[in-house]
Amino acid sequence: MNIQNFLAQKIYKSIILAGAPVNYQVQIRKSEKLKFGDYQVNGIMTLAKKLQMSPQILVNKILKNVNLNGIVQKIEIIGPCFLNIFLEPKWLSAQIDYALITQNLGITLNQKQTIVVDYSSPNVAKEMHVGHLRSTIIGDAIVRTLEFLGHNVIRANHIGDWGTHFGMMIAFLEKQNMIDCCDIALADLEILYRDAKKAYDEDIDFAKKARSYVVRLQNGDEKCRRLWHKLVDITMKKNQLLYERMSVTLKNQDIMGESFYQSMMEEIISDLKKKNIAVSSQGATVVFLDTHYNKSGDNVGVIIQKKDGGYLYTTTDIACVKYRSETLQADRVIYYIDSRQNKHLTQVWSIARQAGYVKNNIQLEHHMLGMVLGKDGRPFKTRSGDTIKLSDLLDEAVHRATNLILAKNPKISQNDLQNRAEIIGIGSVKYADLSKNRTTDYIFDWDSMLSFKGNTAPYMQYAYTRVLSIFRKSGINIEEEILGSTFLFNEHSVMLGIHLLRFEETIQKVAHEGLPHIMCSYLYDLASIFSQFYENCPIISEKDKNKKTTYLKLSLLTAKTLKIGLHTLGINTIERM
Ligand code: ARG
């Protein structure tokens, strides 16, 4: 149960009865300290002023109407009108038992949505680099979270697999006698791309040929299509290996790249013209949006078809959002892209909405991403100033994790070492990214991300193994149900219990806002609260049967919550460290 929402609804009812307007938003949040109860209601003073009522009278009215029998132990009024809610331990205990016997920790979905998540989206003929890290990892965490909650999730890997540069690449492969290139590696493609660009800029005949190949590709010429396919294949095979290595759930069938929408373009242009949304301007087709002006106050317009007939990134995205609404029937579309593309997306959406290409009530959201910076505060690059390839980054993470594990455990078998180094190394890179607010830039720092202290993957993974060891020591199988009922009877068990029950409001918030760092903080707090509980409550040696049952159940729910929580983030756990 989402306790926060549940309480908010109850209080909402009595606040309305006390005279508040129906659109009143109850301000309820978790209390910072145990002595302030479990939840706090704020904002009553402001409401009293609005209603021209004395705060005391308003509070009394609210409390008289609220029905929380059996749920709340007491409600304390602090100052004139702050309400501190203390939940009833018996009720909390029953919620713990319920979470333990139900699937998905007892979380229920109010409204199932079809949600398209656009993420990762690398470009063909280029290796994924550190710039794709955030979109890939954060996007995947949200996909996992939404799926856990029961939504119908459609992964969309909007790869950059179309554009004039493909004509150039194909012409260059031909020039180099490489049209039967089955075994080109992606790294070689990058070099080829650079050389092709050079030839394109320097050799007029080559440039002409390259342009003619763009047209042939568009018209479905067999040879061009075959080569283009090969380029996409080479790129995405390598990327797929990276996805698997990072436990990113994207598969080949999730690729819906720019090329996928090309057949829709011609019709969209003529339709937009027919609807008087697009106009011809100096040979090109342009949409003038009354919301988009440049710095000098001119309405510059968004080009959707160039003079030479070519379509643009914007045109593709218009077709793409239309497809997602009309064909995929999305209720919500979330884009995990760099914040620098915000203007692009708002233009696309505004054109699509004007043209009626998307359902009125569709939620279109750009979940913006800040950048990954080096220690110097500038975009993270290699010493020589090149972008850092994702595969190199992962290799280094695993290498560093190997040393770390060996230092702690020199006798470990080679097999175990490799296994754990992958999980800890890659987990560290992912967690470091996930635990920062996605909207801001962050500094990439190996030492802090691989530390066993603080909000890091190694710390969280270790915390999980510590909980498991309790079960190993007491000879209890974690998969088995522990008989008997929970009874939260002391401060430590109440504190842990209430935090465990906040998992639902946490995960729903993550799903709503697309902010996985909220889950990271929650799990980190859980690990700390569990540590305190463990130090103060003799779980294994406890003689009183009821108390022991409660301790074990809380430990079991902690283990499950940590595992599920980390899993929704895409962080793997191990049994021993
Ligand atoms: N391929 C693009 C890039 O690397 C990202 C695409 C994002 N998705 C979209 N629908 N525009 O910048």
Domain holding 273: CATH number? Answer: 3.40.50.620
| Ligand 1 atom 6: residue of nearest CA | 121
Residue 419 lies in a domain: no
* Ligand 1 in reach of 158 Cβ (< 6 A): yes
- pTM recorded for the entire structure: 0.93
* Ligand 1 in reach of 123 Cβ (< 6 A): yes
Q: Best substitution site from 341, 349, 358 to test ligand 1's pocket, by max atoms within 8 Å of Cβ?
A: 341
Q: Best substitution site from 155, 317, 337, 347 to test ligand 1's pocket, by max atoms within 8 Å of Cβ?
A: 337
Q: Best substitution site from 158, 235, 317, 325 to test ligand 1's pocket, by max atoms within 8 Å of Cβ?
A: 158
How far apart are alpha carbons 71 and 485 in whole angstroms?
17
Of ligand 1's atoms, which has the minimum distance to the CA of residue 317?
10
Distance of CA 119 from the midpoint of ligand 1 (Å):
8
Distance of CA 337 from the midpoint of ligand 1 (Å):
7
* Domains contained in the chain, number: 4
Distance of CA 292 from the midpoint of ligand 1 (Å):
21
How far apart are alpha carbons 44 and 58 in whole angstroms?
8
Residue 92 lies in a domain: no
Q: Are 116 and 359 in contact (CB under 8 A)?
A: no
* Ligand 1 in reach of 235 Cβ (< 6 A): no
Of ligand 1's atoms, which has the minimum distance to the CA of residue 123?
1
Q: For residue 40, give the CATH number of its domain.
A: 3.30.1360.70
Phi and psi at 254, nearest 5°, equal -85, -5
Q: Position of tokens 């949505």?
A: 113
Residue 356 lies in a domain: yes
- The token pair at 536 is 């103060």
pLDDT score at 389: 87
How far apart are alpha carbons 226 and 208 in whole angstroms?
21
Which residues does residue 83 pair with via DSSP β-bridges, in sequence order?
Answer: 41, 77
Task: Single out the residue in 366, 385, 415 at which a domain terminates.
Answer: 366
Distance of CA 135 from the midpoint of ligand 1 (Å):
10
Distance of CA 120 from the midpoint of ligand 1 (Å):
8
Residue 108 lies in a domain: no
Q: 561 Cβ partners below 8 Å, 6+ apart? A: 105, 500, 503, 523, 526
Task: Single out the residue in 87, 103, 134 at which a domain terminates.
Answer: 87
- How many degrees, rounded to 5, is the angle at CA 572 between CA 567 and CA 576? 125
* Ligand 1 in reach of 257 Cβ (< 6 A): no
Hey, is 172 helix, strand or coil? helix
Q: Are residue 144 and residue 169 in the same domain, yes or no?
A: no
Distance of CA 166 from the midpoint of ligand 1 (Å):
17
Q: Are residue 240 and residue 278 in the same domain, yes or no?
A: no
* Ligand 1 in reach of 121 Cβ (< 6 A): yes
* Ligand 1 in reach of 317 Cβ (< 6 A): yes
Low-confidence residues of the chain: pLDDT under 70: 181-182
Residue 7 lies in a domain: yes
Residue 431 lies in a domain: no
Distance of CA 328 from the midpoint of ligand 1 (Å):
19
What torsion do the CA atoms of 376, 377, 380, 386 make, to the nearest 10 degrees? Answer: -60
| Ligand 1 atom 5: residue of nearest CA | 121
Q: For residue 471, give the CATH number of its domain.
A: 1.10.730.10
Q: Are residue 324 and residue 285 in the same domain, yes or no?
A: yes
Q: Are residue 190 and residue 131 in the same domain, yes or no?
A: no
| Residue length of the chain | 577
Residue 446 lies in a domain: no
Residue 335 CA to its chain's centroid (Å): 10
Task: Single out the residue in 212, 247, 282 at which a domain terminates.
Answer: 247
How far apart are alpha carbons 91 and 96 in whole angstroms?
9
* Ligand 1 in reach of 118 Cβ (< 6 A): yes
Q: Are residue 145 and residue 199 in the same domain, yes or no?
A: no
Q: Are residue 267 and residue 349 in the same domain, yes or no?
A: yes
Count the Cβ atoms, other than its own, within 10 Å of residue 60.
14
Of ligand 1's atoms, which has the minimum distance to the CA of residue 338?
12
Q: Are residue 154 and residue 280 in the same domain, yes or no?
A: yes
Q: Are residue 79 and residue 38 in the same domain, yes or no?
A: yes
pLDDT score at 182: 64
Q: Are residue 145 and residue 189 in the same domain, yes or no?
A: no
Distance of CA 121 from the midpoint of ligand 1 (Å):
5
Distance of CA 160 from the midpoint of ligand 1 (Å):
7
Q: Are 242 and 391 in contact (CB under 8 A)?
A: yes
pLDDT score at 181: 64
* Ligand 1 in reach of 163 Cβ (< 6 A): no
| Ligand 1 atom 9: residue of nearest CA | 158
Q: Are residue 273 and residue 356 in the same domain, yes or no?
A: yes
* Ligand 1 in reach of 258 Cβ (< 6 A): no
How far apart are alpha carbons 286 and 272 in whole angstroms?
10
* Ligand 1 in reach of 347 Cβ (< 6 A): no
Residue 46 lies in a domain: yes
Distance of CA 158 from the midpoint of ligand 1 (Å):
6
- Class of residue 237 by CB neighbours under 10 A (exposed 0-12, middle 13-18, buried 19+): exposed
Q: Best substitution site from 116, 117, 121 to test ligand 1's pocket, by max atoms within 8 Å of Cβ?
A: 121
Q: Are 322 and 356 in contact (CB under 8 A)?
A: no
Q: Are residue 137 and residue 182 in the same domain, yes or no?
A: no
| Ligand 1 atom 11: residue of nearest CA | 317
Distance of CA 159 from the midpoint of ligand 1 (Å):
7
Beta-carbon-side half-sphere exposure of residue 463 (alpha carbons within 13 Å): 30
Q: Are residue 187 and residue 150 in the same domain, yes or no?
A: no
pLDDT score at 103: 85
* Ligand 1 in reach of 337 Cβ (< 6 A): yes
Task: Find the domain containing 313 and state its range.
Answer: 114-158+259-366
Distance of CA 162 from the midpoint of ligand 1 (Å):
12
